[in-house]
Amino acid sequence: SQPGTAFIGIHIQPKHAAAEMGHMARVSEFILQHWKTDKAVILGDMNADCRYMSRSALAQTPLKTEPGFTWLIPDTADTTVSCYTDCAYDRIIVTDAVVVHGRASVFNFDTEYFLTYDEALAVSDHYPVEVQIC
């Protein structure tokens, strides 16, 4: 049988964003070995932008510097609902063995469903991120 895809959902603590992001490549390697696959999708609120983690610190994290990982949500994306921030906190990262159809995106549910700012914040302060894989 063909190995499946491991999904690694994370929520990184803002005050420890740089340290926790620094460990994610090792964590993903452990999970890949444990599940005997080369396909992994790492997704969630990484808090790796704006006041929690500088772009230069992010550029040095192993998930960015080591080969084998592709970031599908760019550093320039805004995954926050707030009109006062423009931060790419929520990300999708895949190992190179994952086949992606189309492109990943940020789902701006407030625009899609014609919500007011307050209605959108009642749903979440973050936009969901999405991608189609096979």
Burial of 112 (0-12, 13-18, 19+ CB in 10 A): exposed
Domain extent for 32: 5-133
In total, how many domains does the chain have? 1
pLDDT in tens, 67-78: 999 999 999 999
pLDDT at site 1: 55
CATH number at residue 87: 3.60.10.10
* Residue 131: pLDDT over 60: yes
* Residue 44: pLDDT over 80: yes
**pTM for this model (two decimals):** 0.93
Element (H, E) at 45: strand 39-45
Strand-pair partners of 129: 106
Using 50, 70 and 90 to split pLDDT, how confident is the model at 3?
A: confident
Measured CA to CA, the distance from residue 82 to residue 67 in angstroms comes to: 34
Chain centroid, CA 117 distance in Å: 24
